[in-house]
Structure 1
């Protein structure tokens, strides 16, 4: 049976062995990359940690500290990594153009959506204002008709109705 202390010691040993294995693979990869210099691009790039330089025909470890290989190691247009046909310089330019197009497309879509939403909103607002104006006009006409009928009733009550509105009042 294992004790808790023994389990901890065993797990440290396993982690240490895994660490040694990774170190051995890294060391083997670096020696294998340098050993593949003056061969072919395909042989060098069979290992993903290798970088092939076309101009110097050298295979070296990819500099993982920097995103792009430094010019002292290999010019960007001559560096190959992953696939022999992938040119870093062309890849960077193409990705930049694609990213720019995507950003512009997103901005245009956002602008158009906001603009269309505002246009729809202004049409709705305009329709609502038009309905309110029509309602006010109808209410005003109703009030005018009510006032006119009330004035007519008052004229009838006091006998002020006339057939000809332009004739003079006669004193009785």
Structure 2
């Protein structure tokens, strides 16, 4: 139960190296798994094809046709494979969380890259139009303002004079 209270990253940091070390240490031993029943979990799991069931102390061949061992063989929270201190239930939950985090991270990265590329293009386009067409736009705006001022009699002879000093 203390393993279930740990965060997924802590579990991952403990489980993966343990599985790698166990897989490295394991060899395909010539003995059948059933001969290691009623011994110990460590003895059983020396053979990579064996599955240890904790409450019954049975060492059985891992059902290669199934991804997970059926509950009739051994309940998931009591089944051990690879290392003795990790049960299948914790392993499944941890791997599911890590897979979910990985998928969400990839989607966020893809979204950010695509969005940033579009933002970059839009920013480049805005800067280009501002730099290239700014003098023309400023002149056009000034002419329009002057026409409006003349239309309403607000045109000044001296552009630096105050409006009420005309």
- Give the TM bin, normalised by the shorter chain: 0.5 to 0.7
CA distance in 2, matches of 1:118, 1:78: 52
**1:135 Cα deviation from its structure 2 partner:** 4.6
Note the aligned Cα RMSD (angstroms). 2.3
Task: String of CA shifts for 1:14-65, please: whole Å, max 9, x gaps.
Answer: xxxxxxxxxxxx9x64xx3112111111111111111110011111111111
Distance between the aligned counterparts of 1:105 and 1:89, measured in 2? 24
For 1:137 and 1:60, the matched residues in 2 are separated by 82
Q: Residue in 2 aligned with 1:55? A: 55
Task: State the SS of the aligned residue for 1:86.
Answer: strand
Name the counterpart of 2:87.
87
Shift of 1:139: 8.0
Q: Secondary structure at the match of 1:84?
A: strand
When residues 38 and 138 of structure 1 are mapped into structure 2, their CA distance, relative to the original with a 3 A threshold, is: closer
- 5+ residue gaps, structure 2, are 1-27, 144-166
1:73 match: 73
1:97 aligns with 2:101: no
Offset of residue 95 of structure 1: 0.7
Name the residue aligned to 2:111: 111
Q: Give 1:118 shift.
A: 1.6
Greater C-alpha Rg: 1
Between 1 and 2, higher relative CO (CA 8 Å, sep ≥ 6) is seen in: 2
Task: Write the distance in 1 (CA, Å) between the matches of 2:134 and 2:85.
Answer: 72
What pairs up with 1:35-46 in 2 under 5 angstroms? 35-46=35-46
Q: CA deviation at 1:140?
A: 6.3
Aligned residue pairs, count: 114
TM-score, length-normalised on structure 2? 0.61
Q: Which runs of 5+ in 1 are unaligned?
A: 1-25, 145-172
> Offset at 1:134?
2.2
Give, in angstroms, the shift of residue 86 of structure 1. 2.0
Deviations 1:118-172 (A, max 9, x none): 222111111122234325347869xx9xxxxxxxxxxxxxxxxxxxxxxxxxxxx
Q: TM-score normalised to the size of structure 1? A: 0.59
